[in-house]
Amino acid sequence: MNSEAGNISQRSAFRPRARIMKTLGEELISSDTVAVIELVKNAYDANAKAVLIRFVPPLVAGDGCIEVIDNGSGMSLETVRGAWMEPATPSKRKKKVSDGRRALGEKGIGRFAAARLATSLDLFSREPGSSKEVHAFFDWTQFENDETYLDEIFMPITQRPAQEVSKSGVLNLLCELGELKGRYDYSHGTVLRLNRLTQDWARSHFEDLQRGLSRLVSPFATLQDFRIKVSAPPPFAEFSTEINPPDSINYPHYLVEGEVNADGDCNISYSVLAIGRKESFSGKLFKTSAGWIVSEPSANTSADGSAPKCGPIRIHLRIWDRDDLGNIVQKTGATLSSVRHDLDAFAGVNIYRDNFRVMPYGEPNNDWLRLDMRRVQNPTTRLSNNQIVGYVSITADGNPELQDQSNREGLRESEAFSDLQGIILSILAQIETIRKVARVKGSRAVAKDEVRQRGGLFAEVDLSPLRTHLEQAHPSDKAVTALVDEAAHSFARQLEEIKAVVARYQGLATLGKLMDVVLHDGRQPLMKIVSEAVLGQEDVDAVGDGSHPIFSKIRHRFGSIEKQGGALRTVFRRIEPFAGRKRGRPAQLYLEEIINGAFDLMETRVKQLGVIVMLPKTQTLVRVDQAEIQEVIVNLLENSLFWLETVPKGARRIAVDVRRTAEEQVEITFADSGPGVPVAIRDSIFEPYFSSKPNGVGLGLAISGEIVSDFYGGTLQLMDSSRLGGAAFRVILKKRV
């Protein structure tokens, strides 16, 4: 007290009301999905190898339960009383790295996440080597009293023999779940049991959760020692799965990979997979009045030479032509609409810090790079947000100026964040230019290959004007007119042969049209059969407990119908490439998958003969017509299978290899262990109607050669030797690949 001055001075302290916990939970955690993700981050910080998110019905407000189970390092009684019950504890700031992992949480957000999701929490935790577990109970409703102060609320915490965090407890659910079975022990971890949910859980919530968790860990730098699984009850059982990104994103048309260091030096590679083009660039990023540009270090620029505020960063972008997604359909077996749905849900450029995602970058409708606006200004060149799935990788230690907003929803607007945006856009501009050149070049190549007008193809060759002229100029030279007559007869004979060949082509074209009809008219009733079988099974399950034998029999029969419907659907998929050929620009597809499809068509015959098949494991993206290439492979395969019957069953082998020999050039080698091609007929096997088979037509190799040369500017060659000792063919494709 200072009496001389007449002032009274006392020390005071903040004394928050208890409701601040609920208020912070609602303000800092924007959704239940974010709340669950924060709890998963806590498991990661605890060095867990796996975490299980288990939903216990009924999933309605005031009932049900969510359990977050991990096998991390657990907590002692002192840790729960101290660090866990002290929001904003400095423990993780002081120890940022544990067992090689950089701590993700620093603000105690997990406590508020638990308060948002449910009205109470049972926490069970056990350290390695301990026979006891800690149990703490948190009744979040206590914090709703406006008259209660935070320091007036006490939570019961006890230590007891391990029950929940043990082999006989819920930790067993994690360690015995699917692929995780037998991989982890039961001696430590943490269980968060969130009781009496604060809101109903619907299908949309599970979809948001699955999408959020699948993006939580970078899909391009997956942490092999951290697994996330969800267990959901009916009717949400389809969401019970290990969290992984969709398979669709693994098959892009273009790739951008590289890194930028803190000084602005960059190493970037750009790939156009359909033609095998890869361009690598090492240079420097310069900041100009127009933004960041990628340039050679010695280039004359108006750059101020300043280093970016956001380095170092790593970049990986996967890019698609949305009008040409056949390669994904081919690899995944999904429908085109489901592929587009996957890309729509997963598209965008995500930011990952220490391999975990920074929300909300990359979320649907979060176009933080304003890519869609750029595309409106230049639609023929610029990429839209839904054409890209990618990530920008940063580290908390290496990028200290990229700070979170207080609600953990994004990074603060700053010069560092602005530099990050500018650098990514400058790198994107490079692949946009490369992509445009490749697409224009491909369009020109296709235009040259368009089918020519065939009017008058079979008109007879009229040599009468030439004969009249020669008779007038050389009236005594009878040999000349005889030669003209012989030429006319020769043309007539060749014309008849051409007509026969074209007639066979027309027959194949008609067959293709018939296949179109079968596929079009057959798929709809097939889908109805399969869906009715599934509904029948559900109806059987709904009418009783299934104890009566008739229920089991009916369920089995419906299952058989569904299974056979799936087999028929597979047949439709295999013959689809041979349906009517689509005009226009060929699709981007994986050549190896086309080859696999050709062998699938002949699978029964291959198994009957006991042929050992060795197919390529590579992935070569090309722009081809699937039916054309499969026709070539099927013709080669049919020949091989015929001649392989002449060798002992244990010695029957076929090997196919694919390799890109140059930009826009691909080579397929097809070899077998048969008797080979006799020297006497090697020069004749590609001629129309030549066949050494007893009942061979002699058009297979001729047609295959024409497809390769006419549509792809390449060659079909008989090789001099084979690594399998029999016949070997080399297919070289030089256009559109």
pLDDT tens-place string over residues 556-581? 778 778 777 776 776 666 566 555 55
Q: Answer yes or no: are the C-beta atoms of 244 and 214 closer than 8 Å.
A: yes
Higher pLDDT, 89 or 552: 552
Q: Answer yes or no: are the C-beta atoms of 108 and 89 closer than 8 Å.
A: yes
Q: Among 229, 245, 261, which residue terminates a domain?
A: 245
Pair 44, 89 in one domain? yes
Q: Within a domain: residue 451?
A: no
Residue type, 410: G
Would the pTM count as exceeding 0.75? no
Pair 160, 270 in one domain? no
Q: Among 212, 230, 245, which residue terminates a domain?
A: 245
User: How confident is the model at residue 454, as a pLDDT?
Assistant: 37
User: How confident is the model at residue 602, as a pLDDT?
Assistant: 86
Confidence at 455, pLDDT banded by 50, 70, 90: very low
pLDDT of 544 > 80? The answer is no
Pair 597, 555 in one domain? no
Burial of 174 (0-12, 13-18, 19+ CB in 10 A): buried
Structure tokens given for 443: 């369009």
Confidence at 438, pLDDT banded by 50, 70, 90: confident
Residues 6+ apart with CB under 8 A from 314: 258, 259, 392, 393, 394
Mean pLDDT, all residues of the chain:
81
Average pLDDT of span 105-126: 79
Pair 429, 490 in one domain? no
Contacts 24+ apart (CB under 8 A), 100-106: 101/44, 101/45, 101/47, 101/354, 102/354, 102/395, 102/396, 102/397, 103/45, 104/41, 104/44, 104/45, 104/354, 104/356, 105/38, 105/41, 105/42, 105/45
pLDDT of 463 > 50? The answer is yes
Q: Among 536, 552, 577, which residue terminates a domain?
A: 577
Query: At 176, which CATH number?
Result: 3.30.565.10
pLDDT tens-place string over residues 275-308? 888 988 888 887 876 678 777 655 444 344 578 8
Higher pLDDT, 70 or 696: 70
pLDDT tens-place string over residues 580-598? 555 556 788 999 999 998 8
Pair 389, 438 in one domain? yes
User: How confident is the model at residue 70, as a pLDDT?
Assistant: 92
Pair 685, 552 in one domain? no
Pair 591, 553 in one domain? no
Looking up tokens 């590289």 gives 258
Distance CA 243, CA 245 (A): 7
Q: Answer yes or no: are the C-beta atoms of 74 and 165 closer than 8 Å.
A: yes
Domain of residue 221 covers 20-245
Q: Within a domain: residue 15?
A: no
3-state helix, strand, coil in the chain (%, to 5): 40, 20, 35
DSSP string, 609-636: HT-EEE------EEEE-HHHHHHHHHHH
Distance CA 584, CA 592 (A): 22
Distance CA 708, CA 205 (A): 52
Q: Answer yes or no: are the C-beta atoms of 390 and 317 closer than 8 Å.
A: yes
Pair 354, 380 in one domain? yes
Pair 202, 314 in one domain? no
Q: Within a domain: residue 525?
A: yes
Percentage with pLDDT > 90 across the chain: 30
Q: Within a domain: residue 26?
A: yes
pLDDT tens-place string over residues 5-43? 556 666 777 777 777 776 766 666 778 888 898 898 888
How far apart are the two ends of the chain, measured CA to CA in Å?
89
Distance CA 669, CA 300 (A): 49
User: How confident is the model at residue 450, as a pLDDT?
Assistant: 47
pLDDT tens-place string over residues 38-78? 898 888 888 888 899 999 999 999 999 999 999 999 999 99
Higher pLDDT, 70 or 226: 70
Determine which of 70-74, 302-306, 356-360, 531-535 has the lowest per-residue pLDDT on average.
302-306
Q: Within a domain: residue 12?
A: no
Which of these, 297, 310, 307, 316, lies nearest to 264 by C-alpha position?
307
E-only strand ranges, 130-240: 132-139, 157-161, 189-197, 227-231
- For residue 17, give the DSSP letter: B
Pair 481, 603 in one domain? no
User: How confident is the model at residue 148, as a pLDDT?
Assistant: 83
3-state secondary structure at position 597: helix
Pair 178, 261 in one domain? no
User: How confident is the model at residue 106, as a pLDDT?
Assistant: 47
Helices (H), 153-300: 171-175, 203-216
Q: Tally the domains of the chain.
A: 4
Pair 179, 254 in one domain? no
Q: Within a domain: residue 9?
A: no
pLDDT of 708 > 60? The answer is yes
Q: Within a domain: residue 199?
A: yes
Q: Within a domain: residue 14?
A: no
Burial of 302 (0-12, 13-18, 19+ CB in 10 A): exposed
pLDDT tens-place string over residues 230-258? 999 988 988 888 888 788 899 999 999 99
